């Protein structure tokens, strides 16, 4: 059976957002250290299962090998993310909205409050949005009292910055 080939599209090989907080950097470092501590045990398990013989019918070996492959892939992914990372602190100046600020603004008569961080740390349920999101991108560079129009799917909403923390 042939595996279907799909022509690369617009979203092929997109680089992840490198902007992270020191807390996210520490989290990635801890995860990397944890995986590296487990690797020798995973290698021994693969070797032990490989010694049992026939690889084609050795399900334990296949599972262990897949887990080891995933761990190695994750190590490379985290190391690359840390190498490319742009670590930022919350800015001391609150005259203009920047990455790391918490912004309170009115949107169509409703008051909203969001913290603006990098894409890897977003959590809309906790009011943390990306600087690449439509709202985050529109807020960057604004001052308290600035008004701007946010273009949503079906309508345009006028927003006003109330507070920058």
Predicted confidence (pLDDT) per residue in 38-51, tens digit = 999 999 999 998 88
The residue among 131, 128, 22, 30 whose CA lies nearest residue 78 is 30
Write down the pTM of the prediction: 0.80
151, containing H or E segment? strand 147-151
pLDDT for 11: 66
Mean pLDDT, all residues of the chain: 90
Rounded mean pLDDT, 33-42: 97
Give the pLDDT band of residue 1 (cuts 50, 70, 90): low
Mean of pLDDT values over 108-124: 91
- Domains (ranges, CATH) in the chain? 19-87 (1.10.287), 102-164 (3.10.50.30)
């Amino acid at each position: 059976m042939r595996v279907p080939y799909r022509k690369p599209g617009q979203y092929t090989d997109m680089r992840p957002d490198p902007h992270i907080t020191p807390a996210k950097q520490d989290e990635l470092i801890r995860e990397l250290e944890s995986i590296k501590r487990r690797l020798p045990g995973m290698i021994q398990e693969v070797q032990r299962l490989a010694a049992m013989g026939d690889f084609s019918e050795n399900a334990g070996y296949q599972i262990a090998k897949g887990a080891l492959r995933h761990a190695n892939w994750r190590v490379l992914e985290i190391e690359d993310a840390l190498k490319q990372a742009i670590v930022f602190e919350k800015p001391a100046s609150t005259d203009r909205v920047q990455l790391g600020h918490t912004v309170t603004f009115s949107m169509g008569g409703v008051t909203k409050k969001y913290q603006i961080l990098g894409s890897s740390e977003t959590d809309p349920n906790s009011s943390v949005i990306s600087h690449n999101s439509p709202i985050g991108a529109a807020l960057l560079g604004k001052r308290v009292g600035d008004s701007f129009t946010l273009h949503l799917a079906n309508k345009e909403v006028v927003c006003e910055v109330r507070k920058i923390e």
